[in-house]
C-alpha cells in the first residue's frame, strides 16, 4: 500500500533506514528515499540530518544531494542556508540535469522567478545540444524553463520551440503553462471547471505514464577489470563478451537501436562481479547463465544505479575513457 498519511511516510522512512543498514552497497539511494518520505511526513529537520550524513560520506552525486538539501531547508524556514547551498550548486555547474532542476524549481516555488529562469537557462545552455538527441532526463529542464517564461510573460525563443517539439502530451505546453489556468480553478462557472478538470486529467495521465517507468531501460556495462574477472570465473560468458572493445561497441549499438524505435529514459548500469554473484545467489541461479545478465541490469537500475544515456552535452563518455562522449562512442551520432 502506498504511503498516504504522515505516519505512513514515517513508517516507510524507518523501513528504508533499516534496509540501508542491511544493504550498505545501496545505502545512498535508500537514504535518499527515506529523506523524501520524512519530508512528506513534515519531519524536515530529520530529513536534513540524512542529507548531512550522505554528504559527509562522500556520495556519488553530491550536487544532487545538496540541491535536495537546499529545497528541504528552505521549506522549513532556513532560507539563508538554502540560498548559500543553491549558489554553490550553480557555481559547481553539475553535468547532470537533476540538481539544476531541483534548484530551479525550489526558486520557482518561492516566487524567485527571475532566478529560476536564469538557472533553467544556464542549465539548458550547458547540457542541451539542439542538434543532438535530448536525453530523457534533460527534457524536463526545457519544460521547466518554458513554464517559468510563461509566468514571466516572456515571448517564445528557440529553446521554447524545442520544448514544444519534444512535448508529446495531448495538451500543448502553452496551455499547460498558462497562468490563467490558476484562475479557472477558482471559478464558479461549471463549464470552466469541467474544462480545467479535463486538462488536469490529461496531465495526470502523462505523469502516470512517467511514473510507470521509475527507472531507465538499462544496458549492462563491465569495466575492463571486472569483465576480466567475470570471464576468468565464468568462461562460458565469453560468447556474450568476446572482447571488452566489442562489449563497449555492443552497448552503444543497443542503445542507439532502442532510441531509434522511440524508447526513452535509456540508461547504463555498471556491474561488479561480487554484486553479480550475490544477485545470482538470490535468484538461485548460476552466474554463468547468460539469461541472468539482463535481469541483473534491470535490478541495478531499479536500485538507482543507472546513469542516463546519451550523456549530457560535453560530458565524458559513459565507457570511462575520460574523453568527451561525442569524441568517443558518440562519434558520428546525429
C-alpha cell at 272: 561488479
Q: Which residues contact 45 (CB under 8 A, 6 or more apart)?
A: 76
Which CATH number does the domain housing residue 42 bear? 1.25.40.10
Whether residue 186 is contained in a domain is answered as: no
Question: Which tens digit of pLDDT belongs to each residue from 25-61?
Answer: 888 888 988 999 999 899 999 999 999 999 998 888 8
Which DSSP helix (H) or strand (E) runs through 267?
strand 266-270
pLDDT at residue number 293: 94
* Strand, helix or coil for residue 215: coil
Task: Say whether both 20 and 118 belong to one domain.
Answer: yes
Q: Tens digit of pLDDT for each residue in 201-249?
A: 665 555 444 444 455 788 999 999 999 999 999 999 999 999 999 999 9
Verify that 124 and 227 share a domain, yes or no: no
In the predicted structure, residue 303 carries a pLDDT above the cut 80: no
pLDDT of residue 246: 95
CA separation for the pair 307, 93 (Å, rounded): 18
Contact 74, 63 (CB under 8 A): no
Would you say residue 181 lies in a domain?
no
The predicted model gives 295-320 an average pLDDT of: 85
Pair 11, 124 in one domain: yes
Residue 82 lies in a domain: yes
157: which 3 cell numbers? 525563443
Segments in 23-57 forming alpha helices (H): 27-40, 44-56
Is residue 322 domain-shared with residue 223, that is, in the same domain? yes
Same-domain check for residues 37 and 139: yes
Q: If DSSP states are collapsed to H, E and C, what string results for 173-228?
A: HHHHCCCHHHHHHCCCCHHHHHHHHHHHHHHHHHHHHHHCCCCCEEEEECCHHHHH
Same domain, 15 and 144: yes
pLDDT at residue 194, rounded to an integer: 72
pLDDT above 90 covers a percentage of the chain that reads 50
The radius of gyration computed from the CA coordinates of the chain, to the nearest angstrom, equals 22
Query: 226 with 111, same domain?
Result: no
Q: What is the pLDDT of residues 140-168, one digit of tens each?
A: 899 999 999 998 999 999 999 999 998 87
Say what the pLDDT of residue 135 is: 78
pLDDT tens for 91-113 read 999 988 999 999 999 999 898 99
The CA-based dihedral angle spanning residues 94, 100, 102, 103, taken in that order and rounded to the nearest 10 degrees:
100
The pTM assigned to this predicted structure is 0.66
User: CA 136 → CA 113, 143, 267, 312, distances in Å?
Assistant: 24, 12, 10, 10
- Residue at 72 is within a domain: yes
Q: Which residues pair with 307 in a beta bridge?
A: 268
Helices H / strands E in the chain, number of each: 16, 3
- Give tens-digit pLDDT for 263-284: 878 899 999 998 899 888 888 8
Structural domain including 139 reads 6-156
Domain count, the chain: 2
Q: Is there a single domain that holds both residue 20 and residue 143?
A: yes
Peptide linkage before 310 cis (omega within 30 of 0): yes
Amino acid at each position: 500500500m502506498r504511503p498516504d498519511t504522515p505516519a505512513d511516510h514515517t513508517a516507510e522512512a524507518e523501513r528504508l533506514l533499516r534496509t540501508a543498514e542491511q544493504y550498505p552497497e545501496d545505502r545512498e539511494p535508500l537514504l535518499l528515499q527515506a529523506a523524501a518520505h520524512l519530508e512528506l511526513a513534515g519531519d524536515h529537520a530529520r530529513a536534513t540530518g540524512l542529507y548531512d550524513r550522505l554528504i559527509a560520506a562522500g556520495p556519488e552525486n553530491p550536487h544532487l544531494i545538496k540541491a535536495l538539501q537546499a529545497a528541504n531547508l528552505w521549506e522549513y524556514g532556513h532560507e539563508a542556508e538554502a540560498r548559500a547551498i543553491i549558489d554553490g550548486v550553480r557555481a559547481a555547474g553539475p553535468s547532470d540535469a537533476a540538481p539544476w532542476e531541483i534548484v530551479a524549481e525550489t526558486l520557482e516555488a518561492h516566487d524567485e522567478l527571475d532566478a529560476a529562469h536564469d538557472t533553467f537557462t544556464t542549465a539548458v545552455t550547458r547540457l542541451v545540444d539542439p542538434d543532438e538527441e535530448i536525453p530523457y532526463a534533460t527534457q524536463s529542464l526545457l519544460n521547466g524553463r518554458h513554464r517559468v517564461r510563461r509566468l514571466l510573460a516572456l515571448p517564445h525563443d528557440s529553446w521554447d520551440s524545442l520544448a514544444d517539439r519534444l512535448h508529446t502530451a495531448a495538451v500543448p505546453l502553452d496551455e499547460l503553462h498558462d497562468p490563467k489556468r490558476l484562475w479557472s480553478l477558482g471559478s464558479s462557472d461549471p463549464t470552466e471547471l469541467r474544462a480545467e478538470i479535463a486538462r488536469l486529467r490529461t496531465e495526470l495521465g502523462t505523469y502516470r505514464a512517467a511514473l510507470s517507468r521509475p527507472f531507465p531501460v538499462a544496458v549492462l556495462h563491465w569495466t575492463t577489470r571486472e569483465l576480466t574477472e567475470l570471464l576468468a570465473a565464468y568462461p562460458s560468458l565469453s560468447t556474450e563478451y568476446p572482447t571488452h572493445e566489442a562489449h563497449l561497441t555492443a552497448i552503444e549499438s543497443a542503445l542507439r537501436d532502442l532510441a531509434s524505435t522511440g524508447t526513452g529514459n535509456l540508461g547504463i548500469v555498471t556491474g561488479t562481479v561480487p554484486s553479480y554473484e550475490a544477485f545470482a545467489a538470490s535468484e538461485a541461479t548460476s552466474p554463468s547463465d547468460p539469461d541472468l545478465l539482463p535481469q541483473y541490469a534491470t535490478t541495478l537500475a531499479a536500485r538507482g544505479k543507472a546513469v542516463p544515456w546519451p550523456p549530457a552535452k560535453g560530458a565524458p563518455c559513459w565507457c570511462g575513457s575520460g574523453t568527451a562522449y561525442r569524441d568517443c562512442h558518440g562519434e558520428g551520432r546525429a
